[in-house]
Chain A
Amino acid sequence: MTSDVILVLVVGTALAFDFTNGFHDTANVVATSISTGAANPQAAIAVASLLNFVGAFISISVAATVANDVVDASVITPTIVFAGLIGAIAWNLVTWYWGLPSSSSHALIGGVVGSAVAAAGFHVIIAEGLVGKVLIPAIVAPLLAFVVAGASIGVSYRVIGRQRPGIVSRGFKYGQIISGGLLALAHGTNDAQKTMGVITLALIANGSLGAGADPPVWVIASSAAAIAAGTYSGGWRIIKTTGTRIIKMDAAQGFTSQGAGAAVILASTHFGFPLSTTHVINGGVMGSGAAKRLSAVRWGVARNIVVAWVLTLPAAAAIGALTYAVTSLFGNGAVGPVVVTVLSLAAIAAAFARRAQRGAPVPVQSG
């Protein structure tokens, strides 16, 4: 009975995390379309939300990595997964509150690793998986998106030559419907799978699934619904940072940055690499800007974003470890997770109330 209560809390918390992931992270996917005027904000977010939902059903490779290749599932308990999730949600809320792009993916993995280490020691980490499937791809992917977007915009300008700007701009804006849609699909398939992986890990830890099992259909469907709902709910503040403050871009740059991002995320997902879509899309945006004119990129903003990225893993790990320590104060039963859940809900309500008092974040202007 106790383990079932904790498992229900874990599933609920994981889906709440998935919602915050969509709320916080997916906005980056539509920022480029909105800032170039290719789509109006409401339509872009609605389509991204739908494609996030669809994308979640495409693959389970990333879910398998999160469930089996990062920490040793045999020593994990549902309480450890719960503490890791709280660490990730807390870091997502902090970065959302201050309008900083972060990485929900790294927050999730950092949170779970931190709570697992606090509970069982460093031997619980699977170094091959954490380094080979998470950390190295985390560095390679945004750089790859930067290079591909930079090369793409160079090729594009060369092919287009001196054609009339009006037709070219309109063409790339239409193209952004495809590239933006692909990016949303790619985001859904990579990010929703991380939640699927964590819920699967908890189910394995609880004995509800065998070791190495794939996510059940209800886990896939509920994760897809949660990230789609989160995407639809917002993220205006982060749209503004990504879409307008890094560079002022034209439609061709928007198309190439989205195309590069989608290609990198889809390829990585195929091989089971859990990426940060935020890192990848920002890498693409900077690449398309830098290739046109280095000074067009506002490197100060880019530096702040990089600092936030670097902080994500250790910060989420620290909060995850702290959460596990607080949970342990109440013993091994369900009391600890219930107390932490109540405290977390209170903190979230306070953050939203304070944000509402200060005024809603300003949406980016389209056109």
Chain B
Amino acid sequence: MVLAEIVEVKDLVETVVFATVTGIGVTAIFSLAIWGAARYADLSQEERPWAAGAAAATAGLALLAVLAVVVLGVVVMTSK
């Protein structure tokens, strides 16, 4: 029996792709949220309200995106 017949290649590849994209993607977006929060603190101290607001918006949107990916991931899990 050929190894490729035994191993469910398609499922395994999809597992690798899903885990890689979500694992790295969520970390990148969450890091963006932290970057936004840190910049907001710095820019607020420098009394640059517009730039601080933009940084806060970036942080907020990134955080929402992380939560959306988490919820989507759990929904996909329950769909099979």
Within 8 A of A (CB), among B16-45: 16, 18-20, 22-24, 26-28, 30-35, 37-39, 41-42
B77-A266 in contact (CB<8A) = yes
In the complex, whether B1 has a CB less than 8 A from a CB of chain A is yes
Most A Cβ at <10 Å: residue of B15, B28, B66, B73: B15
Residues of A within 8 A of B76 (CB): 270
Contact with B along A33-74 (1 / 0, CB 8 A): 000000000000000000000000011010000000000000
The answer, yes or no, to whether A175 is at the interface (CB within 8 Å) is yes
Docked Cα-Cα span, A259 to B8, in Å, equals: 25
Would A155 and B78 be within 8 Å (CB), given that A137-B12, A171-B34, A172-B34 are in contact? Answer: no
Residues of chain A within 8 A (CB-CB) of B35 are: 159-161, 163
A4 within 8 A of B: no
Known: A140-B16, A167-B34. A271 touches B11 (CB 8 A): yes
Asked whether any CB of chain B lies closer than 8 Å to the CB of A144, the reply is yes
Closest chain A CB from B24 CB (angstroms): 5
Bound CA span A88–B66, Å: 38
| A132 in contact with B8 given A58-B78, A148-B23, A148-B24 (CB within 8 Å) | yes
Q: A residues within 8 A CB of B19?
A: 144-145, 148, 260, 263-264, 266-268
| A273 adjacent to chain B (CB < 8 Å) | yes
Interface contacts (Cβ under 8 Å), in number, total 136
Bound form: Cα–Cα A136–B34 in Å: 37
Within 232-282 of A, Cβ neighbours of B (below 8 Å) are at 252, 255-256, 259-260, 262-264, 266-273
Minimum CB distance partner of B66 in chain A:
A178
Whether B7 and A132, one on each chain, are in contact in the complex, defined by CB atoms closer than 8 angstroms, is yes
B68 interface contact, C-beta 8 A? no
B77 touches A59 (CB 8 A): yes
Return chain A residues, CB-CB under 8 Å to B31: 155-156, 159-160, 252
Bound: A136/B41 CA distance, A: 48
Report Cα–Cα, A145/B73, bound state, in Å: 17
- Assuming the A-B contacts A132-B8, A133-B8, A164-B38, are A260 and B23 also in contact, with contact meaning beta carbons closer than 8 angstroms in the complex? yes
Q: How many residues of B contact A (CB 8 A)?
A: 39
Contact A273-B15, Cβ < 8 Å, known A155-B24, A163-B34, A263-B23: yes
Q: Is A152 an interface residue (CB 8 A)?
A: yes
- B64 close to A (CB within 8 Å): no
In the complex, A120 has a CB within 8 A of chain B? no
A189: nearest chain-B partner, CB-CB: B77
B12-A263 in contact (CB<8A): no
Q: Which of A118-173 contact B (CB under 8 A)?
A: 127-128, 131-133, 136-137, 140, 144-145, 147-149, 151-153, 155-156, 159-161, 163-164, 167-168, 171-172
Across the interface, B70 reaches (CB within 8 A) one of A61, A136, A178, namely: A178
CB pair B77–A270 under 8 Å, yes or no, is: yes
Indicate if the CB atoms of A136 and B12 lie closer than 8 Å. Answer: yes
Decide if B38 touches A167 in the complex (CB within 8 Å).
yes
Contacts A159-B31, A167-B34 hold; do A263 and B77 have CB atoms under 8 A apart?
A: no
Taking the closest CB of chain A, its distance from the CB of B74, in whole angstroms, is 7
B42 partner residues in chain A, CB cutoff 8 A = 163-164
Q: Inside 8 A of B78's CB, which chain A residues have their CB?
A: 58-59
Taking each of B5, B14, B73, which has the highest tally of chain A beta carbons within 10 Å of its own beta carbon?
A: B73
Cross-chain contact of B28 among A133, A156, A171, A269 (Cβ < 8 A): A156
With A59-B78, A167-B41 as known contacts, state yes or no: A148 contacts B14, CB within 8 Å.
no
- Which residues of B line the A interface, CB within 8 A? 1, 3, 5-8, 11-12, 14-16, 18-20, 22-24, 26-28, 30-35, 37-39, 41-42, 66, 70, 73-74, 76-78, 80
Can you spell out 20 A-B residue pairs with CB atoms less than 8 angstroms apart? A58-B78, A59-B77, A59-B78, A128-B5, A144-B19, A151-B20, A151-B24, A152-B27, A159-B35, A163-B35, A171-B33, A175-B34, A185-B74, A252-B31, A263-B18, A263-B22, A263-B73, A267-B15, A267-B18, A271-B8
Chain A residues proximal to chain B, CB less than 8 Å: 58-59, 61, 127-128, 131-133, 136-137, 140, 144-145, 147-149, 151-153, 155-156, 159-161, 163-164, 167-168, 171-172, 175, 178, 182, 185, 189, 252, 255-256, 259-260, 262-264, 266-273
